[in-house]
A and B are shown apart, each in its own frame.
Chain A
Amino acid sequence: MKRLLVLALLVAVSAGPGRSAAQEIMAGLSHHAIGITADFAGTEILVFGAVENEGDIVVVVRGPRREVVVRKKAPVFGIWINAQSAIFQSVPGFYGLASTRPLSEIVDADMRRVMEIGIDGLRLEPADMDPSLRDEFRAALIELKQAEGLYPVEPSTVSLAGGRLFRATIALPAGVPVGTYAADTFLIRDGEVVAAQSSPLIVSKAGFGAEIYNFAHRESEFYGIAAVIAAVIAGLAGNLLFRRT
């Protein structure tokens, strides 16, 4: 429901005033599709554009949302085993941000939560959980994502030229998940989002590895049969190659 409201707001601020006058903000991406090949070592996305009037600009690149489970280990008879767990329903697989100034100087915490701007603004709430544990698991989730480089700790900078043209680079690490990303650009004035624009970005596996992955996940039974046949052929080949007379 909340998400729908945000969506409506985004549409309102981007389409509404933009249609009547000139568009307040226009943004583009250096790539709209990224292929993860066998030697993929991360890449950078350039987000650029122009604003009609001065203001602060925040760029957010957000990965596909997925349900994840965070598990906490506890010692049982001297062995560390997974004990408590929390399920988070829609966790962005990646969250990278760039802004013209430190975020806290641009928007207050309430607005950050409404627009999901900044990691502390992300609505990550585990279902059915004790509130005291909720914060602990939320913090653990963010820490794990940060450790993987998927929620960069240091935000990048949006550079403005002549108060009108802006550009920012967001680095995607090697381990980024595949799926549909969104690059959202917000124009903020006096703590209010006055315009926003969203551009899609597709990250997918490419090359031979992608074919294997898709085969394994889409036609699992045939993949299983192929895996067995490949192993049998390899075994027979090895046997023939070194057959002693």
Chain B
Amino acid sequence: MFQIYLPIAEMSVDIFLLLGMGGAVGFLSGLFGVGGGFLMTPLLIFIGVPPPVAVGSEVNQVVAASVSGFMAHWRRRQVDFKMGGVLIAGGVLGSVFGVWLFGILRQIGQIDLVISISYVVMLGSIGTLMMVEALRTILRRRSGTTVRRKAHVHHWGHGLPFKMRFRTSRLYISAVLPITLGFVIGILAAIMGVGGGFFLVPAMIYLLGMPVGVVIGTSLFQITFVTATATFLHASSTQTVDVMLAGILTLGAVFGAQFGTRVGAELRGEELRGLLALVVLGVCVTLLWRLVAEPASLYTLSPTGFH
């Protein structure tokens, strides 16, 4: 009804559709404490936003979402700034590499394919893991047993050089680990338009051995800076950042997230987590279907070079 023209995506979209999408994904992110970028980018592609613009604009929106969360954790002093700084160093390098790769893939006409395949692999694995985890928790609750995990395990990573002391996290580990981890997150941000919290948080707990209390705040600190870098690089080299699109989505997401947080505080998680897993798997299957189904037209048209 109320069409709005997105200047970079170069298309008209119903503003309420965008606000609704922002609200729905924001609600899920408030409910489950996830960023939501991994759901928003595929949704944007489904409504016809060119995949590169979906990625560039979504990474811009993730900046807004993570800054907000970071502030909340900062006030509670749940951020390890030194660890965050090392992760950011890796993340900036990763996003520079990712945006460079993005430009090349776009030039040879394979960027849409790489974005879709990355999402199929990522959503497929996260969705399956979440589903298994949720089912296991539900079964365990029924049988009444509890399993304790070891908080800190010694592994190969502790033998690496360049050891650094991280006081807030009470760790003395090689800087190679967080830099590499940050680098991978930077690539994910640049190519998929996600913050990467779904990957970063478990890696910080199990790979780096960080105390759970500072993990979320530190990950948000890193995500804020890395997505800001990726936004800047996309804007300056691929011109795929649509601020109008990102702004409308943010507006919807801010309200959705508040609502989601309130609902989340009152509900039990496992069944809902199973439901989120179903949503994630559903998006994954839809993307996969678009890759394997014979397209309506075999041909596509695009300008060469992009100025």
CA gap between A223 and B6 in the complex, in Å = 15
> Which among B66, B233, B243, B251 is the interface contact of A212 at CB below 8 angstroms?
B243
Binary interface profile of A, 218-241, with partner B (CB < 8 Å = 1, else 0)? 001101111110111011111101
Binary interface profile of B, 239-253, with partner A (CB < 8 Å = 1, else 0)? 101011011001100
Q: Check B299 against A235 for contact (C-beta < 8 Å).
A: no
Q: Check B67 against A231 for contact (C-beta < 8 Å).
A: yes
> Which among B7, B68, B292, B300 is the interface contact of A238 at CB below 8 angstroms?
B68
> Which among B65, B109, B234, B241 is the interface contact of A71 at CB below 8 angstroms?
B109
> Which among B6, B254, B294, B297 is the interface contact of A234 at CB below 8 angstroms?
B254
Residues of chain B within 8 A of A205, CB atoms compared: 7
Q: Check B258 against A242 for contact (C-beta < 8 Å).
A: yes
Does A145 count as interface, using CB distance less than 8 angstroms?
yes
Q: How many A-B residue pairs have CB under 8 A?
A: 163
Does A81 count as interface, using CB distance less than 8 angstroms?
yes
Given A82-B113, A236-B67, does the pair A231, B231 have CB atoms closer than 8 Å?
Answer: yes
Binary interface profile of B, 279-307, with partner A (CB < 8 Å = 1, else 0)? 00000000000011111011111111101
Q: Check B246 against A71 for contact (C-beta < 8 Å).
A: no
Given A234-B250, A239-B71, A239-B72, does the pair A69, B228 have CB atoms closer than 8 Å?
Answer: no
Does B12 count as interface, using CB distance less than 8 angstroms?
yes
Does B95 count as interface, using CB distance less than 8 angstroms?
no
Given A212-B243, A212-B244, does the pair A71, B299 have CB atoms closer than 8 Å?
Answer: yes
Binary interface profile of A, 42-76, with partner B (CB < 8 Å = 1, else 0)? 00000000000000000000000011111111110
Interface size on B, residues (CB 8 A): 55
Q: Check B292 against A80 for contact (C-beta < 8 Å).
A: yes
Given A224-B236, A230-B243, does the pair A141, B12 have CB atoms closer than 8 Å?
Answer: no
CB-based nearest A residue for B110: A82
Q: Check A232 against B63 for contact (C-beta < 8 Å).
A: yes
Q: Check B250 against A231 for contact (C-beta < 8 Å).
A: yes
Most buried by A among B7, B65, B243, B246: B7
Residues of chain B within 8 A of A72, CB atoms compared: 298-299
Most buried by B among A68, A137, A205, A223: A223
Residues of chain A within 8 A of B12, CB atoms compared: 174
Residues of chain B within 8 A of A141, CB atoms compared: 299, 301
Shortest CB distance B179–A (Å): 23
Residues of chain A within 8 A of B251, CB atoms compared: 234
> Which among A80, A145, A224 is the interface contact of B291 at CB below 8 angstroms?
A80
CA gap between A82 and B110 in the complex, in Å = 7
Report the interface size class on chain A. 35 or more
Residues of chain A within 8 A of B3, CB atoms compared: 39
Q: Check A80 against B295 for contact (C-beta < 8 Å).
A: yes
Q: Check A79 against B292 for contact (C-beta < 8 Å).
A: yes
CA gap between A150 and B178 in the complex, in Å = 52
Does B64 count as interface, using CB distance less than 8 angstroms?
yes
CB-based nearest B residue for A210: B7
Does A8 count as interface, using CB distance less than 8 angstroms?
no
Residues of chain B within 8 A of A137, CB atoms compared: 299
Does B235 count as interface, using CB distance less than 8 angstroms?
yes
Most buried by A among B117, B241, B307: B241
Given A81-B110, A227-B246, does the pair A38, B4 have CB atoms closer than 8 Å?
Answer: yes
> Which among B71, B113, B243, B303 is the interface contact of A236 at CB below 8 angstroms?
B71
CA gap between A242 and B298 in the complex, in Å = 49
Residues of chain B within 8 A of A131, CB atoms compared: none
Residues of chain A within 8 A of B304, CB atoms compared: 67-69, 87
Shortest CB distance A151–B (Å): 12
Does B172 count as interface, using CB distance less than 8 angstroms?
no
CA gap between A213 and B10 in the complex, in Å = 9
Which residues of B does A touch, CB under 8 Å? Answer: 3-8, 12, 60-61, 63-68, 71-72, 109-110, 113, 117, 228, 231-237, 239, 241, 243-244, 246-247, 250-251, 254, 257-258, 291-295, 297-305, 307
Closest 8 pairs (CB-CB, A-B): A224-B235, A235-B67, A231-B63, A238-B254, A224-B232, A235-B64, A209-B7, A231-B64
